[in-house]
Structure 1
Amino acid sequence: MENEILDKVEDNATVRVWSEKLQLEKGDSLVKGYISELWDFSHISVTQNELQELRDIWAHWDDETKQLFYDNYGDLPYLLDIKVDKYLFQAMAQFWNLAYSCFTFGKVDLIPTMEEYTTLLRCPKIQVGKACSRAINVPTLVKKLMNITGMSEQWVTAQIQQKGDGKFIPWVSLRDMVLAHPDVKKKVDVFALSIYGLVIFPKALRHIDEAVADLFD
């Protein structure tokens, strides 16, 4: 069994080297002199955010608020009850290509398409032609959160936390807003942002990453 695992690691390393060499020759985002940080073994953390607070909030909403959510964001709440298969994550980790953020199977690189994300999230309103484009004048994180939450610049600035190289907003701040916000539309928006940050694209436990706010906005 141990030899089989080592063989898999060696095969995966060969594929990564081939993939990076070929794509570097043809020109892409890898800079000259790039060295692949390939580990013989990786520690995979499958720790998840606790989602019970999100479930409780959803359960206490009336039908009108829930329908407003469905109309704007599709069936995202169903993700709150999906069980993550940690063994599947561990099995797939050996095929994850760190250099290109995709899965490499043999000589084939695979990454979910926008159509697959649309189906996964059950949100048909995703504009496929615009999802991967970026506006020329990108607003700051503060401006994005002001737009999403409807809160003042002073309040938003006070909530943003720096963690390493990234900026985050704590879930507790968004939770309190969802529970008390007088604007139902903004309450729904913040709840959707929370699902994106805690369930779909989690990075730091109980925090929503700046990149998620960027994508959501």
Structure 2
Amino acid sequence: MDIGRKRLVAYKFPVVCLEPIQQLMQLMDPGSLEGFREDYGLILSFVTVLSKDQHDALFTLLQFYDPPLRCFTFPDYILVPTLEEIASFLRVPIRSQLLFYSSEFLPDLSMVASATYLEESVWKANMCQKGEVSGFHLSFLLGEAKKKLEDGNQRGFNAVLALCVYGIVLFPNVAKFVDMDAIRLFVLRNPVVQFSPTQIRSVR
């Protein structure tokens, strides 16, 4: 089948602030890293800078991406990851929940505090606006993570680190800022379905 000459599509990869999160990761010993993986899967594998070869390979793959179909189209087949494959890659279970829509799930501060091991008063005192978006500055969360580690609270450190990954790497919206949508997704602990091609546009 002659599919004709395909025009190259230019993609601009966003610059994500990874260095502060990587510095937090360096504070973890092998035991605490394993504990993190048990609670949050392999999400730390996303906190990495692509090499030139990886960047080029990703650019090449994206040339076959079809936005309307939300899958990769090749002459003889289409390619789309399944939820089970994503869950296996992340080592995160698929929970029996409805799909996430930002306007339909509003966790109260007690839920957020429980998930992040931070007091409600801390959240209330540090929540702010960046443009029209509510959330927390990355610098605040990094500071709280270090405090947890200094206090010997490894699970609290892991929780805040995981929240940083959710807001800055997995579901970014504003640079160096973790918005409420990312926090809601973190509280739900069901990120896998948000990576499905049919759902990605519904998160924001």
Q: 2: CA distance between counterparts of 1:65 and 1:82?
A: 23
Partner of 2:140: 173
Give the gaps of 5 or more residues in structure 1.
Answer: 10-40
Partner of 2:109: 142
**TM-aligned CA deviation for residue 145 of structure 1:** 2.7
Partner of 2:121: 154
The structure 2 residue matched to 1:115, chosen from 73, 78, 84, is 84
Q: Which amino acid aligns with 1:185?
A: R
The structure 1 residue matched to 2:172, chosen from 202, 205, 217, is 202
The structure 1 residue matched to 2:96, chosen from 130, 134, 151, is 130
Q: 2: CA distance between counterparts of 1:129 and 1:151?
A: 24
Are 1:214 and 2:184 counterparts? yes
The DSSP-based 3-state class of the residue aligned with 2:47 is helix
Higher helix share: 1
The structure 2 residue matched to 1:80, chosen from 34, 47, 52, is 47
Q: What is the total number of aligned residue pairs between the two structures?
A: 175
Partner of 1:65: 32
Are 1:188 and 2:158 counterparts? yes
Q: 2: CA distance between counterparts of 1:118 and 1:68?
A: 18
Answer whether contact 2:105 2:184 (CA < 8 A) is retained: no
| TM-score normalised by L of structure 2 | 0.65
Partner of 2:190: none
The DSSP-based 3-state class of the residue aligned with 2:172 is coil
Q: 1: CA distance between counterparts of 2:179 and 2:85?
A: 23
Q: 2: CA distance between counterparts of 1:111 and 1:184?
A: 37
Answer whether contact 1:79 1:199 (CA < 8 A) is retained: yes
Change (3 A) 1:138 1:80: closer
**TM-aligned CA deviation for residue 176 of structure 1:** 0.5
Q: 2: CA distance between counterparts of 1:50 and 1:187?
A: 19
Q: Which amino acid aligns with 2:96?
A: K
Q: 2: CA distance between counterparts of 1:192 and 1:77?
A: 8
**TM-aligned CA deviation for residue 69 of structure 1:** 0.7
The DSSP-based 3-state class of the residue aligned with 2:165 is helix
Q: 1: CA distance between counterparts of 2:29 and 2:37?
A: 13
Change (3 A) 1:95 1:68: closer
Q: State percent identity of aligned pairs.
A: 17
Answer whether contact 1:149 1:186 (CA < 8 A) is retained: yes
Partner of 2:193: none
What value does the CA root-mean-square deviation take over the aligned residues? 3.5
Higher relative contact order (CA 8 A, sep 6+): 2
Answer whether contact 2:117 2:159 (CA < 8 A) is retained: no
Answer whether contact 1:168 1:210 (CA < 8 A) is retained: yes
Change (3 A) 1:90 1:204: farther
Q: 2: CA distance between counterparts of 1:114 and 1:132?
A: 14
Give the gaps of 5 or more residues in structure 2.
Answer: 188-204
